[in-house]
Amino acid sequence: MLSADMGGTNTAIGNLSGVYSTKVGVQVFSPHPVPGEGDIIWNGDSPHALKNFWVQLTKADLKIPEDVQQMYTTFLPEMYL
């Protein structure tokens, strides 16, 4: 497994290796340069993955159903004070 940030250089190297992520598909495996060693799994590091996830959540206009909101405000009221 290869873990790296999702910077431009690392993304470009991944793309050259056949790794990509688009709206319609994801390929996270690339062949190992040593025959018989299986595939290399490309993985973004956790802090950057969480940051990207958070950015996408804040950009989206999410609608939380009223019953879900009620459930969480009932069981976890201290979060909403």
- How many domains does the chain contain in total? 1
Task: Give, in order, the Cα–Cα distances in Å from 12 to each of 26, 48, 61.
Answer: 15, 17, 31
Q: Which residue has the higher pLDDT, 74 or 77?
A: 74
| CA neighbor of 17 nearest in space, from 5, 1, 4, 28 | 28
Share of the chain above pLDDT 70, in %: 90
**pLDDT per position as a tens digit, 2-46:** 777 777 888 888 888 888 878 788 888 888 888 888 898 888 788
Whether this prediction's pTM lies above 0.85 is answered by no
Domain extent at residue 74: 2-49+57-80
